[in-house]
């Protein structure tokens, strides 16, 4: 997890989307018919299995390479005393602290982004080589620039606020800053679907282009006891950049919405797409976004407390180590980022374990939401997972350590097996969430 201060907040917003675990995808796979033999396990042809394993291993290596490269970049920025130079330039521009932040933050974050380009470029090359992306390099670079600009717009006031607390409360700055981040985080999550996401993709209401699907979705929402207005259902033009299939729920309050990628509807039939929607509706109805915000806010508390303790030891009293005058000096930011980056990576299994539970619950909810509406609903869900795996080149058997450390969803093979066998109704058992039609969980 990349952990500039702005990177953290934007990362939390993205995490709250609870998008599907696997990235992108190869050529289109037609929807499987209910008349084919029952799908009970995730299977791939020998050629595709070899390709999926190779792609998975490359992505696992890239994750750890990116982490160590980010650490090396921050260490180099500190050792070369680049931050003190940026600070001096910022202080020469203005005596006002906010305008100093407006100079210092872009210099630091842009330098960091440029130095981290090698791993980012390698990741995009992997996506292209394994047919996960159709996005050209020019478009990809422009998305990177837009992402950096969005990060700076958010990051400048956040860093200014951080150092305001550092100067005014040297001992408890991390606590006051932690308290201040909650409304900021909520605001970012609220505005992201409206102001940030449309910078990268086009969104349009789902119902006009897919009336039959919208009608079926309405049945699912009624059965779940929580009708979702059609104006909160959107289609995203993922096909402009990806071959992958996906859907997600995002936003808060008035901005909350369910988004289905156009690639999903192109490669899966209506019953399979209904399960995908039911899964995302589960996140919506089970209030996973507010729960995740609360968890992440507590997670951030631990990161800041640790960062404050380590930062005071590394820099200590004023003395000019690495050209940093004191903890409250702008130039201390790369040290704080380094501490938080390492701590966040070490804590990633905890965060991913929390999200995995949400994802499993959403799978259960999706199965219950389409039961009785979709014929052979368990098979529709299992087939949806099969298509997802084939299209996104999901690892058929990820190592235990990788599942523990990196997976924020259960492995796809496990999800498919569960979907194919979940049937409390025929066993006389009570469903976990939708205990009766139109019952609220």
pLDDT value at position 8? Answer: 39
Contact call for residues 387 and 272 (beta carbons, < 8 A): yes
Q: For residue 125, what pLDDT is reported?
A: 97
Q: Residue 72 belongs to what domain range?
A: 7-24+41-421
Q: Give the pLDDT of residue 317.
A: 59
Bridge partners, residue 259, by sequence: 234, 248
CB atoms within 10 A of CB 366: 28
Say what the pLDDT of residue 438 is.
47
Q: Is residue 29 part of a domain?
A: no
> pLDDT value at position 247?
85
Is there a domain that residue 151 lies in?
A: yes
| Alpha carbon distance 119, 296 (integer Å) | 26
Please state, in angstroms and rounded to a whole number, the distance separating the CA atoms of residues 292 and 78.
33
Domain membership of residue 2 (yes or no) is no
**Residue 35, domain member (yes or no):** no
- Domain-located, residue 346: yes
Q: What is the reported pTM?
A: 0.88
Query: How many domains does one find in the chain?
Result: 1
30 inside domain: no
Assigned domain for 60 exists: yes
Within-domain flag for 441: no
Query: Would you state the pLDDT for residue 223?
Result: 86
Pairing of strands 257-261, 233-236: parallel
pLDDT reported for residue 18:
31
Q: How many C-beta atoms lie closer than 10 Å to residue 277's C-beta?
A: 27
Over the chain (441 residues), what is each successive 10-residue block's mean pLDDT?
37 34 35 63 97 98 98 97 97 97 98 97 97 96 97 97 96 95 92 96 94 88 83 94 88 89 94 94 92 92 92 74 92 95 95 96 96 94 96 96 97 97 94 70 46
Asked if 431 contacts 363 with a C-beta cutoff of 8 angstroms, the reply is no
């Amino acid at each position: 997890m990349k952990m500039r201060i702005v990177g953290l907040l934007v990362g939390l917003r993205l995490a709250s989307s609870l998008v599907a675990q696997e990235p992108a995808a190869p050529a289109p796979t037609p929807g499987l018919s209910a008349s084919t033999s029952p799908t009970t396990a995730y299977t791939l042809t020998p050629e595709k299995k070899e390709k999926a394993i190779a792609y998975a291993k490359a992505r696992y290596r890239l994750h750890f390479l990116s982490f160590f490269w980010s650490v090396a970049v921050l260490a180099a920025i500190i050792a070369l005393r680049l931050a003190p130079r940026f600070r001096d330039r910022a202080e020469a521009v203005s005596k006002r602290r906010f305008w100093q932040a407006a100079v210092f933050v872009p210099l630091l974050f842009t330098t960091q982004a440029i130095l981290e380009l090698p791993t980012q470029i390698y990741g995009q090359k992997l996506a292209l080589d394994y047919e996960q992306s159709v996005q050209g390099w020019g478009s990809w670079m422009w998305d990177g620039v837009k992402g950096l600009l969005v990060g700076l717009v958010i990051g400048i006031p956040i860093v200014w606020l951080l150092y305001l607390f550092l100067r005014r409360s040297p001992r408890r700055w991390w606590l006051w800053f932690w308290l201040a981040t909650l409304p900021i985080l909520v605001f970012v999550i609220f505005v992201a679907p409206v102001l940030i996401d449309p910078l990268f993709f086009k969104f349009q209401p789902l119902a006009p282009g897919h009336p039959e699907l919208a009608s079926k979705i309405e049945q699912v929402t009624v059965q779940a006891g929580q009708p979702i207005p059609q104006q909160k259902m959107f289609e995203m033009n993922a096909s402009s950049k990806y071959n992958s299939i996906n859907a997600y729920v995002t936003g808060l309050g008035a901005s909350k919405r369910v988004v289905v990628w156009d690639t999903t509807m192109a490669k899966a039939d209506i019953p399979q797409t209904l399960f995908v929607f039911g899964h995302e509706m589960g996140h919506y109805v089970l209030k996973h976004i507010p729960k995740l915000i609360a968890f992440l806010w507590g997670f951030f508390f631990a990161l800041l407390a640790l960062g404050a303790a380590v930062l005071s030891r590394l820099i200590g009293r004023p003395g000019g180590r690495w050209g940093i005058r004191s903890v409250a000096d702008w130039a201390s930011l790369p040290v704080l980022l380094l501490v938080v980056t390492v701590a966040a990576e070490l804590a990633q299994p905890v965060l991913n374990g929390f999200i995995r539970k949400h994802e499993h619950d959403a799978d259960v909810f999706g199965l219950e939401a389409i039961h009785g509406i979709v014929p052979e609903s368990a098979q529709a869900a299992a087939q949806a997972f099969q298509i997802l795996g084939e299209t996104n080149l999901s690892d058929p058997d990820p190592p235990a350590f990788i599942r523990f450390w990196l997976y924020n969803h259960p492995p796809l093979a496990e999800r498919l097996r569960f979907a194919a066998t979940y049937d409390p109704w025929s066993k006389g058992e009570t469903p976990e969430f939708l205990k009766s039609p139109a019952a609220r969980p």
